[in-house]
Amino acid sequence: MTPPTESPDTGPPKGFLAEIKDAVTTRAALLLLGVLALQVAFITSYIGAFHHPVPSEIPIAVAAPRAPVAEQSAKQLGALPGKPLDPRVAEDEAAATAQVRNRDVDGALIVDPGGKTDRLLVASGAGASLSQALAEIVGRAESAQGRAVRITDVAPAYAGDARGLSSFYLVIGWCVGGYLCAAILAISAGARPANAARAVIRLAALLVYAIAAGLLGAVIAGPVLDALPGSVMGLWGLGALVVFAVGAITLALQGLAGVIGIGLAILLVVVFGNPSAGGAYAYPLLPPFWSAIGPALPPGAGTYAARSITYFEGNGAGGPMLVLAAWAVVGAAVTLACGLLRKGRPGPPVGSGLPD
């Protein structure tokens, strides 16, 4: 008779340190350290961006029936301590209003030299925090001059869009879908594409997912929840672009760094991108670092474009859409390049779940 074989778990007892080594490999320990660093960066980024908002050079138009009056008012606003405003003179009230609607400025002060009350035009659809900051700053400045100010919202946030944040949350949801889709495509068959054909297939699958995710997000935010009144078709196109751009750059980072690329994508999109997106606080209210990087990252570009589509008839959406398109093109190109460079190199078997 053949003696029974012992199972791997039987035999002489191992020491506690040996058990730890078996349970937590060196690779797992390094990945955990990476997760810890990501967590610390997340906390630092969000608290650093949001704990002390300070208005800085908010663009505002100033108009009056007489040019010298407008110039004098603009000069006074520009001289406020800390430079919270960046005033520029508009030809007249119609021109100032057009600048707000075109997203060239965030507000406009219409001066009435014959009275004691001026009008401040704001656009709460671009974010309640921004319109409230403008009202507070201009209100104090007017009060110091013995004048009052009346607020007119020329692009008000929709009744179902509390504080104008629905666009931000919609874009964040699209971003999450983008990098999760790319991560699942990679984990299911190796982080790096085994060849160019595999890279093309992943990008094609991502595109199909992006189209579906963009449509579902636009429909849920619009007709289903009645949160955003903008064009469903416009938001659908934006959503597809956001999802594909984030997914493509995630695939690219995975192609370059393997499974670590997923963490790098989270660092880029979540840790740096979300707090700098201008959602809770608009760019002029964020610290310099976050206000500088926000427009160049997918969450910020997507949020700005979503608000433009929703409340400003698409005005100002061109630049952010180009930013997203650039991320999509670069991500797809790097993914394809990684596939080409790995041509002929063996990868893990499909469905193994092993990063290569």
Contact partners, residue 24, CB within 8 Å, separation at least 6: 32
Specify the number of domains making up the chain. Answer: 2
Q: Determine the Cα angle at 341 with ends 269 and 348, to 5°.
A: 80
Domain span at 134: 58-153
Specify the CATH number for the domain of residue 112. 3.40.1710.10
Separation CA 118–CA 95 (nearest Å): 16
Q: Are 141 and 210 members of one domain?
A: no
Nearest to 189 by CA among 200, 202, 177: 202
Q: Return the closest-CA partner of residue 63 out of 40, 35, 86, 94.
A: 94
**Is 224 in the same domain as 84?**
no
Pair 124, 175 in one domain:
no
Q: Please indicate, yes or no, whether residues 186 and 118 belong to a single structural domain of this protein.
A: no
Residue 282: burial class (beta carbons within 10 Å; 0-12, 13-18, 19+):
buried
Between CA 141 and CA 149 the distance in angstroms is: 10
Is the Cβ–Cβ distance between 213 and 177 less than 8 Å? yes
Crossing angle between the packed helical segments 318-341 and 298-311, to the nearest 10 degrees: 140
Q: Are residues 128 and 224 in the same domain?
A: no
pLDDT digit string (tens) for the chain, length 356 residues:
455 554 455 555 566 666 666 666 777 788 788 889 989 998 999 899 999 999 999 999 999 999 999 999 999 999 999 999 999 999 999 999 999 999 999 999 999 999 999 999 999 999 999 999 999 999 999 999 999 999 999 999 999 998 899 999 999 999 999 999 999 988 766 567 767 888 899 999 999 999 999 999 999 999 999 999 989 999 999 999 999 999 999 999 999 998 889 999 999 999 999 999 999 999 999 999 999 999 999 999 999 999 999 999 999 999 999 999 999 999 999 999 998 887 655 444 433 433 44
Task: Give the residue from 110, 127, 153 where a domain finishes.
Answer: 153
pTM: 0.88
